[in-house]
Each structure stands twice: as C-alpha cells, then as structure tokens.
Structure 1
C-alpha cells in the first residue's frame, strides 16, 4: 500500500452487536447453514443514500441498483482494518468469473470528510480495484447513514501533527440487486466464505 496514506491508530466499534443480538433473539436467521454471513433480511431498511462519489458528483443508491452491493464504512487514513478489508473484498470479487464480477460492487463510505476529499478518495479506492466505489458527504449525512444501519463512528483528539484516529464499525453490509438488506459479513470470514455468499445472492432468481 502506498506510503502516502499515513498510518494512524484506529479504534473499531464492535460490529453492530445490537443487531446481531436481535437476530439471535428473534430467530430470524432462516436456514443459517445456507450462509456464512449473518442473515439480516427484514431487520434493516433497504439501501438508501444521497452522497458524493470520488469524482465529486452527487449520487444516490439508485445509481448503483441492479447489482449485489457490499457497503463498508471507513476512512483512507485507516492503518489496518480498512485496507485489509478492501484488499480481501477485491480478492473475493476477482476470484469470480468475469460474468459474475459485473454483478457485484463494493461501496466504500468514508466517514472522514475533512481529510477524504474526492481526489484522495479516488486515489485510495483505485488502489484496491476497479469494482470499488468511493463515497462520502457532509458529516451529518454520514451520521444519518450510519444510524440507518445501526452503527456509528467518532473522531479522537488530534495529535501534535494534527492527525487523528477515527473509530468505526468493521461490519460489511450486503444488499441484493433490489437494495434489500441480506447479510452482515464479519471481516474475519475467509474470502471463500464471502465468495460463496455472493454467488448465492447473484444466482437468486436466475
């Protein structure tokens, strides 16, 4: 990874533990053995946002409809979880057939708009692959989006050099072609396990 992306300590918020607990308590997992990720069907709202992309253009969730989408919150100065996760997701999608690769998209939402302008965001996501879209927005927009999916993020006090750490969830949210929430993926799942779930979603109804 390029050294221009400074390394800073990152706190990771437990991956929406309240949602996972709700899933376990309500017994809404369906046939759990079918999925490696947690089945969140019906437990969260459909994919919806109005942000800007890494070209500085306003976009909405409708601009990316028709594909299975993986949503991940992070920031470009993240020293560990973000680059590791994006690298894994790129390996997962790269391992699909060319036809299936076109059916999957990763949406990386930066929750650090003060530092992650479109140019920086574009350089970052391009480093990890072609099927990754960088998104960001005003802090209020980002907080509303995080709240929509029952997570949050926060900023620590800047150090002497002005840099600061950002706490955020490590969860990956997976939505089907219609934007319905389907899976919550933990970053500790193997690439093969994630790929299995993506292929199953892509092939639904085909």
Structure 2
C-alpha cells in the first residue's frame, strides 16, 4: 500500500471513531447521541434514599448524570448501576464536586426510600437514588422523555406478572416461586425456591442515561444497551471542561 493511500485510510478510520463528524451541517460533539438543540431540565423536588428532599437546582454548576431504573428490574438496571459505579470511581475527586450522578426510579409504587437505600447499600452506590409521589415523578419522566408503561398481564394466572415470569405455562393451581415456575413440576433437580412477595405488576421503561451540562441543559443521551463506560466518561469530562 502506498504512503498516500495508507494515510488516507488512517484519516478515514479516525473520522469514524472520534466525535466531531459532520452530519447534515451539524457537528457531532459527543460519543453518545447529541441532544440538539439542548433540552432545559425543569426543576423538581424528589426524595432520596435517606428521606431528604433533593432538587435539580442544587446541582447547578455541575455536570449531572441522570439515570432511570427500578429496583425489581432483573436485567439492564443492575448493569447500568454497575456502569455508573465505574464512572464514579474513575471520576475520583470530581465525583460530587464537578460531577453529580443521580438515579430516579420509574417504579414509585415499590421503590420508596427504604427500598432504594437497600438497593444502593448492597451495591455500594454513593449517589442519590430518588423517588416521590407519582404526580411529582411524572413531570420528570416527561422532561427526560422516559417511555413508561405498567401492566399486570399474567397469562398462566400464577400471580407473577408476565414480565417477571420465567415459566409462562405453569400448570393451573400449582404454587410458584419468585420466577413464576411451579414448585412441583418446573424446578431444577433438587432446588425449590420460595415466593417471598407477589410480583403482580411489571414496569416497562424505554430510556437511557442523560448527561446534563452545568447550565442545566440535557446534552447527551446514552441508550441503556449502548453503554460504553469509557466513552460515557469522555463525554462527561468534555462537559466538565466546557466553559
């Protein structure tokens, strides 16, 4: 390969993996999805895991990383929490001074302060986990474009909502475990799991993690399944350095 062709290939490859690519006349500033134009964050008052009031305005002047989850979520939410813990660790002294992470529940019917506190403690999470009344949370969900639905469908009528049910064809009348599997006919050999509480509704939410700049504008969106912690960190630091 000639030197000129090799150089051209390197330049083209660099444009693919770095922010700043031109698209429709606009500059792509971040590794995540740019929110353009930026969306102002509306003020809110919610309750943290310790029972204290938290407002969005108290974080003005910091870059704020906002994530939405619920504690009963069995799959992506724990992954997002682990990713945020990585971010907090990598930020070091910047976490809490120049950058603030907050988590907001999408299931206030279950996630009170105590439940959120237990969720955070078990995972060693050091940032506010927020809840509140539905009427206080709904404007926040709308402001951050959280698609939220609750439903209680239960095709096999075993008391475990379909979203939680690993065995949707449990025989009628059979007692089930937390996974919705029959204790007599659908257990692995030698294993019986008790059902500690009814999982009688499911929450389905479509959202991501949003990075808010120091002026309280939503600037970057990362889909929950698209997370690259190192690149999320780069986007956060880019906003920290922004004047």
Q: Please, what TM-score do these two structures have when normalized by structure 1?
A: 0.76
The correspondence of residues 1-206 of structure 1 with structure 2, limited to 5 A, is 30-32=26-28, 34-96=29-91, 98-102=92-96, 103-157=98-152, 160=159, 162-163=198-199, 164-187=201-224, 188-205=226-243
1:47 Cα deviation after fit: 4.5
Deviation at 1:152, TM superposition (A): 2.6
Aligned partners of 1:171, 1:67: CA distance in 2, in Å? 20
**1:178 to partner: Cα distance:** 2.2
- Residue aligned with 2:108, SS: coil
Structure number with greater Rg is: 2
8 A contact 1:143–1:152 mirrored in 2: no
Give deviations 1:1-44, integer Å, cap 9, x for gaps: xxxxxxxxxxxxxxxxxxxxxxxxx958x421x31111114342
In structure 2, runs of 5+ residues without a counterpart are 1-22, 161-197
Shift of 1:117: 1.2
| Structure with larger RCO (C-alpha < 8 A, sep 6+) | 1
Q: State the TM-score, normalizing by the size of structure 2.
A: 0.66
Is the 1:45–1:149 Cα contact (8 Å) retained in structure 2? Answer: no
Provide Cα deviations, 1:160-199, integer angstroms capped at 9, x if missing partner: 1531221112311110122111111123231111111111
Unpaired runs of 5+ residues, structure 1, are 1-25
Aligned equivalents of 2:52, 2:146: Cα separation in 1: 26
CA distance in 2, matches of 1:203, 1:91: 20
